A = this chain, B = another copy of it.
Amino acid sequence: MVSKKIAVLPGDGIGPEVCRQAVKVLEAVAERFDHHFALSSHLMGACAIEATGTPLPNETLAACRAADAVLLGAIGDPKYDHDPSAKVRPEQGLLRLRKELGLFANIRPVVAYDVLLAHSPLKKERIQGTDMVIFRELTGGIYFGEKGRTPDGEGAYDHCVYNRAEIRRIAHLAFQAAAGRRRHLTLVDKANVLETSRLWREEVREMAAQYPEVTVDYLFVDNAAMQIILNPTQFDVILTENMFGDIISDEASVIAGSMGLLPSASIGERVALFEPIHGSYPQAAGKGIANPIATILSVAMLLEHLDLIEEAALVREAVDEALHNGILTSELSPVAAYSTEEVGNYIAFWI
User: A: which residues have CB within 8 A of B?
Assistant: 76, 80-82, 84-85, 89, 91, 95, 120-123, 126, 142-143, 145, 147-150, 154-165, 190-196, 198-199, 201-202, 205, 218, 220-223, 225-226, 229-230, 243-244, 246-251, 253-254, 259, 279
| A123 CB contacts on chain B under 8 angstroms | 120-123
Evaluate contact between B225 and A247: CB separation under 8 angstroms: yes
Evaluate contact between B147 and A155: CB separation under 8 angstroms: no
List the B residue with the shortest CB-CB distance to A163.
B155
CB contact under 8 A between A76 and B192, given known A121-B126, A247-B222: yes
| A202 CB contacts on chain B under 8 angstroms | 84-85
Determine which of B196, B199, B226, B279 lies in contact with A253 in the assembled complex, contact meaning CB atoms within 8 Å: B226
Determine which of B121, B195, B248, B279 lies in contact with A157 in the assembled complex, contact meaning CB atoms within 8 Å: B195
| A194 CB contacts on chain B under 8 angstroms | 142, 147, 158
CB contact under 8 A between A84 and B156, given known A121-B230, A193-B95, A250-B223: no
| A191 CB contacts on chain B under 8 angstroms | 81, 84
List the B residue with the shortest CB-CB distance to A255.
B229
Evaluate contact between B89 and A218: CB separation under 8 angstroms: no
Evaluate contact between A248 and B229: CB separation under 8 angstroms: no
Copies of the protein in its oligomer: 2
Provide the bound-state CA to CA distance between A150 and B196, in Å.
Answer: 11
| A225 CB contacts on chain B under 8 angstroms | 225, 247-248, 250-251
| A192 CB contacts on chain B under 8 angstroms | 76, 80-81, 89, 91
List the B residue with the shortest CB-CB distance to A220.
B81
Given A80-B192, A89-B192, A226-B250, 13 additional A-B pairs, CB 8 A: A81-B220, A121-B229, A142-B160, A143-B193, A147-B195, A149-B195, A156-B196, A156-B199, A158-B159, A222-B249, A225-B248, A226-B259, A244-B247
| A120 CB contacts on chain B under 8 angstroms | 123
Provide the bound-state CA to CA distance between A158 and B159, in Å.
Answer: 6
| A81 CB contacts on chain B under 8 angstroms | 191-192, 218, 220
Determine which of B145, B165, B251, B253 lies in contact with A251 in the assembled complex, contact meaning CB atoms within 8 Å: B251
A206 to chain B, nearest CB (A): 11
Determine which of B154, B248, B249 lies in contact with A165 in the assembled complex, contact meaning CB atoms within 8 Å: B154
13 A-B interface contacts by CB (under 8 A): A84-B202, A91-B193, A142-B194, A156-B162, A156-B163, A156-B199, A157-B160, A157-B162, A159-B160, A221-B246, A225-B250, A226-B259, A230-B254
| A221 CB contacts on chain B under 8 angstroms | 246-247
